[in-house]
Amino acid sequence: MNATKFVVLLILIGVVCANVGARQLQEVPKDTKLDISVPKTANTNGVGSQLSFVFAYSDAYSEGLGTATADAGPGRPGAGASGSGSAGTRGYVLAEGPRATAFSGSRADSQGRGIASANRGGAAAEGAGNGSANTTTGGSAGP
């Protein structure tokens, strides 16, 4: 699985977690239960509030590094390779007004290394790798 698919999977998991944790809204009369007055010119689609500020931000980044070495000397022939990569995407949508905010973000990192050598006495190989990922989502609909 490449880094892009992994990041998309993380974002999907974050969206699912946010949807699972969201409260179910019930339709109530705007003026009586919420104790607010909505102007007749406002289009609120039955929510009963107006947004006063909306901010959207998104960026994506990717970086990688790879090295390879080879030694064909008579005493100790060998080869080695290492690589690392990092990819991530962040997206924020803030809807601030009477009571609404939401955010999400994700990141993924990976590293790998491999070394092999051989000579007349024998051969050796070693390898290592690690990876990490995180995602955060949250939101608030007010009290």
pLDDT in tens, 119-135: 666 677 777 777 777 77
The token pair that represents 59 in the structure block: 């960026």
Its pTM stands at: 0.34
Burial class (CB in 10 A: 0-12, 13-18, 19+), 108: buried
3-state SS assignment for residue 15: helix
Length of the chain, in residues: 143
Residue 96's closest CA among 49, 41, 36? 49
Q: Does residue 25 register a pLDDT over 50?
A: no
What pLDDT, in 10s, does the model give residues 4-23?
Answer: 666 555 565 665 444 444 44
Q: What mean pLDDT, rounded, does the chain reach?
A: 62
3-state SS assignment for residue 125: strand
What pLDDT, in 10s, does the model give residues 68-85?
Answer: 666 766 666 666 666 666
The residue with greater pLDDT, 124 or 3, is 124
User: Model confidence at 45, in pLDDT bands (50, 70, 90)?
Assistant: low
